[in-house]
Amino acid sequence: MEQNLGKNGLLWSVFGGEMVAVGFELRYMILLSIILILSDFWWGHSETMKRYHIAEKANDTRGMEKYKWHKSKAIRRTSAKLVDYITYMLIGAFFGLAIIEPMGGWGHVITAAIGLGIGCLAELASIIGHYCYVKFDMEIKVVDVWRWLIKFVANVFRSKGNAIGNALDKTINDKKED
């Protein structure tokens, strides 16, 4: 264990200052991801309770067992999401430091923000799915939300006259036809 601690200490001393700087520069995006995670927790809990009560009214014991609230499981998943999003940020920063910056591209803070942004978009898709079920009794798949988000981004790029929007739109439409 002491040997492992030495390796981790060496890695932290080499990269720690840089990662703390990236974390400080992205503090508001990290705060946004925490707010999104807590919002997903709230709406996920609401959806689970609604599904449980529907199963309870129908005397569906399998449904009741499936949608029974498990506090420890929910807290574990929520904590894992936060760790995942911080990991996306760090991978984005490492990718930026190792590849993008030496090639003269964006800075590592921007690539870290892109990594964290991907996590935030995934969380937003989950929140939309929970919200639509709780408020409107509509079951929306996460894939449909992603498709909508990609169309939105494609329209934003297309409005600026960028070919990326047309490429994203073509990709979405090609996948729909399959």
H helix runs in 58-141, sequence order: 61-66, 71-95, 108-136
Identify the weakest region by mean pLDDT among 34-38, 56-60, 91-95, 145-149.
145-149
Q: What is the pLDDT of residue 134?
A: 95
Q: What is the pLDDT of residue 178?
A: 46
DSSP-derived secondary structure for 72-92:
HHHHHHHHHHHHHHHHHHHHH
Q: What is the mean pLDDT of residues 97-125?
A: 86
- Estimate the crossing angle of helix 71-95 against helix 27-57, to 10 degrees: 150
d(CA 113, CA 43): 25
pLDDT 10s digits, 24-55: 888 988 898 899 999 999 999 999 999 999 99
Identify the weakest region by mean pLDDT among 43-57, 120-134, 137-151.
137-151
Identify the weakest region by mean pLDDT among 1-5, 21-25, 169-173, 174-178.
1-5
Q: What is the pLDDT of residue 96?
A: 87
- For the chain, the domains span 2-138, 141-178
Q: What is the pLDDT of residue 164?
A: 67
d(CA 126, CA 120): 10
Q: What is the pLDDT of residue 87?
A: 86
Q: Quote the mean pLDDT of the chain.
A: 83
Q: What is the pLDDT of residue 50?
A: 95
- Flag whether pLDDT at 177 surpasses 60: no
Q: What is the mean pLDDT of residues 122-129?
A: 88
Global pTM? 0.73
d(CA 145, CA 43): 16
